Amino acid sequence: MQIVIIGSGNVAYHMAKAFVLNNIPLAQIFGRNENELNKISEELNIPYSTKILVDADLYIICVSDNSVEKVSELITKKDCLVAHTSGSLPKEILAGDYRKASLYPLQTFSKSKELDYSKIPFFIETENEDEDDKKILFEIASKISQNVMESTHEKRKYIHLTAVFACNFVNHLFSRAKEISDSQEIPFDYFLPLIDETVQKIHEIEPKSAQTGPAVRNDKRILELHEQLLKDESLEIYKTMNHSIQKMYEL
């Protein structure tokens, strides 16, 4: 099977690397950014192009959500399977006259961060009723990951929403926390063991059962003290988060 990855960003890089490490041949990686494509090509020994999209059986589109439709128009072959990697878009966003699918890897990707691809869940959706396309994507994803499951677009929207809460929002709170520690010249590295323990804990305990802190204890003295130390957006975040915690625990 001839497989092409389209894109040159974080997702495209890690998808290409996952394929190569698991001996899944790639015919090409295609995109606009020649500098980034060249880096990927040299590291992973994959042919690349910014101009000519080679003929393939499977194209995997790894670009930003607002570029998926436009990029999908570049694929003119009809007898092929095309899958995007978006967590929120329907497969119908793909604009060509070919078989449409989604192959969503549930992970946050940065080129500089090594990943264990075997632990990344993949969610698959196809339009092919005879199951052939589903089988193709399951076989490929199962060579990479131990966790592969079928999903509908409706379910995938909730998967992506959950990921935003569990990853993007949490990372933003890390950024806000670092602003506070920086303001007092306290090394943020000192908080990493606390962060690591917090994350590790929910591997063993339900997040709701693992909750600690002044809000769940309803410690009004500490809550008021903290509010006096904050202002603007950080104060609003603090109040909103504590209100949500107390509402969850009916305090």
Q: Does the pLDDT at position 187 exceed 70?
A: yes
Quote the CA–CA distance of 212 and 130 in Å, as a whole number: 50
- The per-residue pLDDT for 131 is 80
Cα three-residue angle 140-12-36, rounded to 5 degrees: 145
The residue length of the chain stands at 251
Question: Can you read off the two tokens belonging to residue 202?
Answer: 């929910």
Quote the CA–CA distance of 143 and 22 in Å, as a whole number: 6
In sequence order, the β-bridge partners of residue 104 are: 123
On the CB side of 119, how many CA atoms lie within 13 Å of its CA?
Answer: 5
pLDDT digits (tens, 9 = 90+) for 98-143: 999 999 999 999 998 999 999 999 999 998 766 899 999 999 999 9
Contacts of 16 (CB under 8 A, 6+ apart): 5, 26, 29, 40, 44, 46
What are the chain's domains?
3-151 (3.40.50.720), 157-248 (1.10.1040.20)
Side chain identity, residue 128: N
pLDDT of 130 reads 63
Instruction: Give the pLDDT confidence score for residue 251 in this predicted structure.
Output: 85
How far, in Å, are 6, 59, 70 from residue 234 at the CA level?
A: 39, 44, 39
The backbone torsions φ and ψ at residue 219, rounded to the nearest 5 degrees and listed phi first, read: -85, 90
pLDDT for the residue numbered 247 = 96
27 closest CA partner among 56, 49, 60, 63:
56
58 beta partners: 3, 81
Mean pLDDT of 81-95: 96
The pLDDT of residue 237: 97
d(CA 233, CA 242): 14
Identify any residues that bridge with 61 across adjacent strands, giving them in sequence order. 6, 84
Mean pLDDT across 44-54: 96
Give Cβ neighbours of residue 118 (< 8 Å, ≥ 6 apart).
144, 145, 146
pTM: 0.87
pLDDT at position 225: 96
Provide the mean pLDDT of the chain: 95
Residue 29 pLDDT greater than 70, yes or no: yes
In the chain, where does DSSP find H-type helix? Answer: 10-21, 34-44, 65-72, 132-144, 153-163, 170-183, 192-201, 207-210, 214-217, 220-229, 232-248
Q: Which residues contact 61 (CB under 8 A, 6 or more apart)?
A: 6, 7, 68, 71, 72, 82, 83, 84, 85, 94
